[in-house]
Amino acid sequence: MRMKSILSRRAFTALAGAAVIATAMPVPSFAADVTIPIIVKDTTSFYWQIVLAGARKAGQDLGVNVPELGAQAESDINGQISILENAVAGKPAAVVISPTEFKALGKPIDEAAKSVPIIGIDSAADSKAFKSFLTTDNVQGGRIAADGLAAAIKEMTGKEEGDVVILTNLPGVGSLEQRREGFLDQVKTKYPGLKVIADKYGDGQATTGLNMMTDLITANPNLVGVFASNLIMAQGVGQAIAENKLGDKIKVVGFDSDEKTVGFLKEGSLAALVVQDPYRMGYDGIKTALAVSKGEKVEENVDTGANLVTKANMSDPKIDALLNPKIK
């Protein structure tokens, strides 16, 4: 037993060292027989901190060591690949990962899956090696956003008509492309009066979203609506609307939430937010990974849900729990 304990501590120490290099997020100090790292896209983002909080709680409840890994920006694709390789080298029981980019993470995940079970959360990758995948139905999330935007525009103008734009954080991200697809499909089939006049990609920075939105405001005086398809874009677009005092003329639906975007929602700079359940993704990701490591059967695909949040329903208990998760 003493030798087994020593080996367990060495394995954990190796993974903990990788976590220190990869992220500033704390790594649990206890050692356990089972280690399941979780790798997110960006440890600095509030959204991913909620995911990590869920994973951390699962580790505590299940007696599993959960190193919290991730790059410092969603655009650091090579960084995430290196983190994945280092995590797998530590021979954990399984790995939970949210791929930063669909194509680029495909082969690295295939390779990792030869050594350990891989559980995917949030965003897809070009791989069939996932033992289970837990995510929002992002196509449906895009449809929800289109419905919310159409309703906000109708409330403002009396009709579901006008020029709208889509702003996407980064190209090639599976979840974001699915949201875009769902939004465009819903507009085409259900809201023919809405005309998508711009469909633009950013570079992963909220300031870029702010600048893009400012330029769109100047160039398109008839603009009535915007879909900002993730938290970073919603931050930038909300800031542009707030600075120009255009909340009563341009309706914006964002995706995900933090203190800043909830503030924009309260003051009217954002009309609505499509909110996922990232805490559940983190918690159930670890729970599923543990089950897989034990040889138990799990669902291949799990929809963790999405809700449209407006100023009118944001105080509802269910919505409030999503907007104000416990992350510590």
User: 257-283 burial, b for 16+ CB within 10 Å, e for fewer?
Assistant: bbebbbebbeebbbbbbbbbbbbbbbb
Which residue range forms the structural domain that includes residue 128? 36-135+275-304
Note if the pTM is more than 0.95: no
Residue 315 lies in a domain: no
Angle at the Cα of 244 from the Cα atoms of 265 and 198, rounded to 5 degrees: 80
Residue 10 lies in a domain: no
| 264 shares a domain with 149 | yes
Q: What is the mean pLDDT of each run of 10 residues along the chain (328 residues)?
A: 40 42 41 86 93 96 97 94 98 97 96 98 95 96 98 98 97 93 98 98 95 97 97 97 98 96 97 96 97 96 95 94 84
pLDDT one-digit tens code per residue, 167-201: 999 999 989 999 999 999 999 999 999 999 999 99
- The burial class, CB within 10 Å (0-12 / 13-18 / 19+), for 306 is buried
| 193 shares a domain with 232 | yes
pLDDT one-digit tens code per residue, 208-261: 999 999 999 999 999 999 999 999 999 999 999 999 999 999 999 999 999 999
| 234 shares a domain with 158 | yes
| 147 shares a domain with 264 | yes
| 255 shares a domain with 153 | yes
Among 250, 273, 296, identify where a domain stops: 273
- Whichever domain contains 97, its CATH number is 3.40.50.2300
How many structural domains compose the chain?
2
Amino acid, res. 157: T
Q: What is the Cα–Cα distance from 182 to 196, expressed in whole angstroms?
A: 13
